[in-house]
Amino acid sequence: MSQTIDFYFDFSSPYGYFARHGVDALSARTGRDIVWKPIMIGSAFKASGNQPLMSQPLKGPYSVHDWERMGRLYNISWQLPDPFPIAALAPARAFYWIEATRDAEVARNYAMAVFDTYFGKGIDISSREVAADLGQLHGIPRAEFLKAIDDPIWKGRLKEETDKAIARGVFGSPFFIVDGEAFWGFDRIPMLEEWIRRGGW
């Protein structure tokens, strides 16, 4: 059994952003590597019949308020970007390309920068130019980057990862799978840790 934690998220997910700030510590506490898996949550929503939080009466305003208080509680920079939500195709495709052509560490650092640019600074990371700028900051030439995100191979890879996630039951972001056991949501990190500590129950 692989000693990892699969971390599914969408770059447009606020709770995914807060989880992004917690997974390194989670890795340290559990001794497990985190496998970062950006997906297109819109496809999972289609499969599950869910709607984006912002479009839901009552739950939308609650969520906006919740993100603000989470930012304050955890001392994590937060702003509600405009536009929000977005289809973050460019950085998600780039993630898998970077992971395959560089390594998981560079891809992870890139992913953290994408999240922080969107929710920390409010900059639209679905823009190809912004996504490429962030790549450049991580030593990835712009031209190469822009070519990769239009390449059918990386378009297909993102779709494939999303389809595989849905097949594994993923319907939200963040969503964790550890030793085959699924945990949905930022709030479930403590239970996930308990699962690892006990080896299930």
Considering only residues 31, 58, 83, 152, which one is a binding residue for its own copies as defined by CB under 8 A?
Answer: 58
Is position 77 an interface residue for its own copies (rule: CB under 8 A)? no
At its nearest, how many Å lie between its own copies and the CB of residue 61?
Answer: 7
At its nearest, how many Å lie between its own copies and the CB of residue 116?
Answer: 22
Considering only residues 29, 69, 142, 197, which one is a binding residue for its own copies as defined by CB under 8 A?
Answer: 69
Is position 76 an interface residue for its own copies (rule: CB under 8 A)? no
The token pair that represents 90 in the structure block: 């460019």
* Phi and psi at residue 35, to the nearest 5°: -100, 110
Is-contact 113 134, C-beta < 8 A? yes
Whichever of 45 and 84 has its CB closer to its own copies, that residue is 45
Is position 94 an interface residue for its own copies (rule: CB under 8 A)? no
d(CA 46, CA 189): 25
d(CA 157, CA 77): 31
Whichever of 58 and 143 has its CB closer to its own copies, that residue is 58
Outline where 102-188 has alpha helix (H). 104-115, 128-137, 142-148, 152-167
Residue 179 DSSP one-character state: T
Give the number of residues in contact with its own copies, rule: CB under 8 A: 30
| Residue found under tokens 């609650």 | 62
Pseudo-torsion of CA 99, 107, 90, 164, nearest 10°?
60
Nearest-CA neighbor of 4 among 165, 166, 176, 172? 176
At its nearest, how many Å lie between its own copies and the CB of residue 187?
Answer: 4
Considering only residues 56, 77, 101, 136, which one is a binding residue for its own copies as defined by CB under 8 A?
Answer: 56
Question: Where along the sequence are the contacts to its own copies (CB under 8 A)?
Answer: 44, 47-51, 56-59, 61-62, 65, 69, 72-73, 166, 169-172, 182, 184-185, 187-188, 190-191, 194, 201
